[in-house]
Amino acid sequence: MKNIILFDTSVGTTNKGDDIIMESAELGLQNITKGNFVVKIPTHITPFSILQTRTWWKAKWVENADLKFICGTNLFAKNLMYPTNDLNVNLLNCKPLKNSVFLGIGNSMLDKKTNWYTQYVYKSILSKEYIHGTRDDETTEMLKEYGFNAVTTGCPTLWGLTPEFCHDIPKDKADEVVFTLTGSQRDCTKDQDMVDTLKRNYKKRYFYVQTIWDMDYFNSLQGLEDVEIVSPNIDQYSEFLNTHDVDYIGTRLHGGVYSMQHKKRAIIISIDNRARNINKVSNLNTLDRKNIDELETLIRSRIITDIRVDYSTLDRWLSQFK
């Protein structure tokens, strides 16, 4: 029996998209974790204090675990000197993460320049034995620049969207829509245009609250009095998607991917490098927010969902742990 650590990006997060990522990551690893002893350790919250790292048996146990996966989200940063990185470790408390493997990781692009400190921390925690898996080619190249072996496996949330699965996703517009907004990256003019377009094209609108900032932003926009709110809990979001015939449209990447996992037609409005980078390798149905005036035409078009995952690369990446 192996001891396996999952560095869990959903603990302490303010974004329910991390819950969606972790659910898919655990599903993707089930053939590796089955029959083994699995422990989850947080990343958004500092996993160990400096003192614990040096004196606590649990930190030593994590350090000596057989396999360690840092699971998903965009936590690969070029500058770990920021105090708000999603991977909350530093040079003095990072030892328990030694020999960890990235699983479907993206980059945060907090800074376009790296530094010696950041490279030293990554070289202290990331495995040189195993190949790391990333969700886009840009992150793969960044890891290679740091001296690690990496391949693009795609985001784990997309691994189950096979051609057979995607074939069953509707191509034509539904009568109702669930949408999202990004309260931390606002464009009131473009987002107001989006919600007005949805009102013209759908009989009923629902709003999924994915982060702590989204509801306040929703309340700042106009013409949303008739919109019903979907709980941020992903179990309830799943239940909603299973019981409603809806399209998904919005700026939240994983809110849209989760809808596709439930066989809903989705248009993801890209607002930053996350959706854009994943789209380059995975062929999401996206529309850049700056082109929001094209949304109405897209809604009324037949949309084919054709998610692309390089399963040969993914299988080769997974096979190294068996």
Residue 112's Cβ-count burial label (10 Å; 0-12, 13-18, 19+) is exposed
Give the distance, in angstroms, between the CA of residue 152 and the centroid of all CA atoms in the same chain: 15
Q: pLDDT confidence of 113, banded at 50, 70, 90?
A: confident
Distance in angstroms (rounded) separating the CA atoms of residues 267 and 136: 19
In this prediction, residue 85 carries a pLDDT of 74
Q: What percent of the chain has pLDDT over 70?
A: 98
pLDDT tops 90 at residue 81: no
DSSP string, 121-142: HHHHHB-SSSPEEESSHHHHHH
pLDDT in tens, 118-135: 999 999 999 999 999 999
Which range (38-52, 75-89, 117-131, 236-250) has the least confidence?
75-89
pLDDT at 29 over 70: yes
CA 281/CA 291 separation, integer angstroms: 21
The model's pLDDT over 212-227, given as tens digits with 9 standing for 90+, comes to 999 999 999 999 999 9
- Domains recognised in the chain with CATH numbers: 3-159+311-319 (3.40.50), 163-299 (3.40.50.2000)
Residue 272 has pLDDT above 90, yes or no: no
Whose tokens are 């409005």? That residue is 269
**What pLDDT is attached to residue 122?**
95
Whether the predicted model's global pTM rises above the 0.85 cut? yes
